[in-house]
Chains A and B, each alone.
Chain A
């Protein structure tokens, strides 16, 4: 690796650290940092972004989404969240010191005690996929809130869709 290349890697690493620090305080506020990072790269690199850089950018963009949603009474992860989870796994496996907490949540239908266990099963489904993508299990903690912490406290179909979720929380 050339000096220039090392410098670039360092820049990316520092930038991603910065992003992580910001993102953990303000969920879904990532894009601002990504723009700064792109400008930085353009200055250092004359020949445009490398394949690795493009991959990094794509992963970082995908990783800004922290919530995945489930079907009613179901804890299997839908295929449409594959890219999202791969991006988180990419980040976690490159940053073995980083911990993520996966929160499992349910909608209010069904009994609260069964839902507490169902929320845990949702968290574990997400955890298993991250591990299958190469993340060390010691980096992942799961916690279930069952139906006790709804994103939307209303009692209707729309709220239930928002509440059946798992959240990847990097603060924990």
Chain B
């Protein structure tokens, strides 16, 4: 229940305790390893609380500050350094914050009038905008410095997730890009000391509230979210070989999707959720297929023939193309094919191995695993120019998954002899490790936006 944030590059180590209650629990810590020197200085002032209980179920302002810090874009001020602790925008003394070099301040208030129900008001203030302005030579008050002024409500159960939504709104007001804090990440844990070593989990984007989706004595692979955020498709070896399952997260309803002879692998939903791209080797070698989830009909997409591997299909944001991995040219490289099939076009040429490609949500780049001189890293390739940028400097990086706003990539890597999750911003500046309390963690899959 401790969040540890250490900024190794800046040689500054912050330790703070996130005060959490009840079932809220993080199985995964977050250690920021690089990139805070680019982060904008802001402040999240502790929210005032008026209510029936002694305190709200979670420390909302701490959750918001941690989210903003974890985006790599912001460096929230330590609580002990705050020059004042106002709770309403009218009371903010802009000069005090300017003197501290702070660009923006978040203030807020939580009220509880009914048991379990909370009203939350919050404002975001731009420190560099004046409270008064000259109009026709007269000094007039203005609210231009209030970038965000919101009121909302939540309850005991959703309090923590609601805090992430507040952070999303603040992030969007400051960056113009939708926030992705109120999202979840699915991942597979392997703890060989357990009777069921393989477990599929989902947790909030900050690692809290881990919920077990499925556990097994046999391996689990390749979880992927349906675009509505309500189900996960994944590969399970529960019958001694790879088969694809589709599981409703909230009802637990589970069905087998593909169990053909050979491998059943690499499921990936189309953007509209109506289809599932997957890899089957029922006809001899690993080829791509598209399954229509309504009609249950399979369409074979590639026909490369003997001994070629085609796998890891992933749809373009417009659903018209797929990128996939193929070793038809000798080594694995990324190819692009129309959803109608036809000729595939090779799109990666740098390094000896490129695999596991996914489009960024804007369709302008692909994120992939690149091997150059035997070293595996997460890389980004510009679709238009073909220029590739290596994003990570960790070891044996694999399974990259993008945040739905395209800002961050979560992936699996090896650190200190253990497989752990790590994150890197898509500009490569911000890096963090997400060590688990025990066992190994892999196959992360970032959810779509869960709040409309």
Residues on A lying within 8 angstroms of B by beta carbon are 73, 108-114, 116-118, 120-121, 124, 142-146, 148-149, 153-156
**21 A–B contacts, CB within 8 A, in A order:** A108-B396, A109-B376, A111-B325, A111-B398, A112-B399, A112-B443, A114-B309, A114-B325, A114-B332, A114-B355, A114-B356, A116-B311, A117-B285, A118-B309, A144-B241, A144-B242, A145-B237, A149-B219, A154-B417, A155-B414, A155-B417
Secondary structure at chain A's binding surface: helix, strand, loop or mixed? Answer: mixed
CB-CB under 8 A from B443, the residues of chain A are: 112
A98 CA / B281 CA spacing, docked (Å): 25
Q: Which of A108, A111, A116, A149 contacts B263 (CB 8 A)?
A: A116
A96 CA / B263 CA spacing, docked (Å): 26
CB-CB under 8 A from A124, the residues of chain B are: 307
Residues on B lying within 8 angstroms of A by beta carbon are 192, 219, 221-222, 235, 237, 240-242, 262-263, 265-266, 279, 281, 285-286, 307, 309, 311-312, 325, 327, 332, 353, 355-356, 369, 371, 376, 396, 398-399, 414, 417-419, 442-443
Q: Which of B222, B262, B285, B396 contacts A113 (CB 8 A)?
A: B222
CB-CB under 8 A from B222, the residues of chain A are: 112-113
- Docked-complex contact B266 and A113, CB < 8 angstroms: yes
Contact status of A110 and B376, CB under 8 A, knowing A117-B281, A120-B262, A148-B237: yes
**Min CB distance, B385 to chain A, in Å?**
24
- Docked-complex contact B356 and A111, CB < 8 angstroms: yes
CB-CB under 8 A from A117, the residues of chain B are: 263, 265, 279, 281, 285-286, 309, 311
CB-CB under 8 A from A73, the residues of chain B are: 353
- Docked-complex contact A143 and B240, CB < 8 angstroms: yes
- Docked-complex contact B419 and A110, CB < 8 angstroms: no
**Min CB distance, B357 to chain A, in Å?**
10
CB-CB under 8 A from B241, the residues of chain A are: 143-144
For A104, give the chain B residue with the smallest CB separation.
B263
Contact status of A148 and B219, CB under 8 A, knowing A114-B311, A121-B309, A143-B241: yes
- Docked-complex contact B417 and A116, CB < 8 angstroms: no
- Docked-complex contact B219 and A113, CB < 8 angstroms: no
A14 CA / B371 CA spacing, docked (Å): 53
CB-CB under 8 A from B235, the residues of chain A are: 116
Contact status of A111 and B399, CB under 8 A, knowing A116-B242, A118-B309, A144-B263: yes
A117 CA / B309 CA spacing, docked (Å): 6
A156 CA / B353 CA spacing, docked (Å): 20
CB-CB under 8 A from A149, the residues of chain B are: 219
CB-CB under 8 A from A113, the residues of chain B are: 221-222, 265-266, 279, 311-312, 325, 355-356
**Min CB distance, B224 to chain A, in Å?**
11
- Docked-complex contact B221 and A146, CB < 8 angstroms: yes
CB-CB under 8 A from A110, the residues of chain B are: 332, 353, 355, 369, 371, 376, 398
- Docked-complex contact A114 and B312, CB < 8 angstroms: yes
CB-CB under 8 A from B325, the residues of chain A are: 111, 113-114
- Docked-complex contact B355 and A116, CB < 8 angstroms: no
- Docked-complex contact A111 and B396, CB < 8 angstroms: no
CB-CB under 8 A from B371, the residues of chain A are: 110
For B306, give the chain A residue with the smallest CB separation.
A124
A120 CA / B280 CA spacing, docked (Å): 11
- Docked-complex contact B221 and A111, CB < 8 angstroms: no
Contact status of A116 and B221, CB under 8 A, knowing A143-B240, A155-B396: yes
**Min CB distance, A137 to chain B, in Å?**
13
**Min CB distance, A105 to chain B, in Å?**
11
For A142, give the chain B residue with the smallest CB separation.
B262
A148 CA / B234 CA spacing, docked (Å): 14
**Min CB distance, B334 to chain A, in Å?**
11
Which 10 interchain pairs have the tightest Cβ spacing?
A148-B219, A117-B286, A117-B309, A113-B266, A111-B356, A111-B355, A155-B414, A113-B312, A143-B241, A116-B265
Contact status of A148 and B221, CB under 8 A, knowing A112-B443, A117-B311, A155-B417: yes
For B220, give the chain A residue with the smallest CB separation.
A148
For A156, give the chain B residue with the smallest CB separation.
B417
CB-CB under 8 A from A108, the residues of chain B are: 396, 419
| Residue in A114, A121, A153 whose Cβ sees the most chain B Cβ within 10 Å | A114
A148 CA / B237 CA spacing, docked (Å): 9
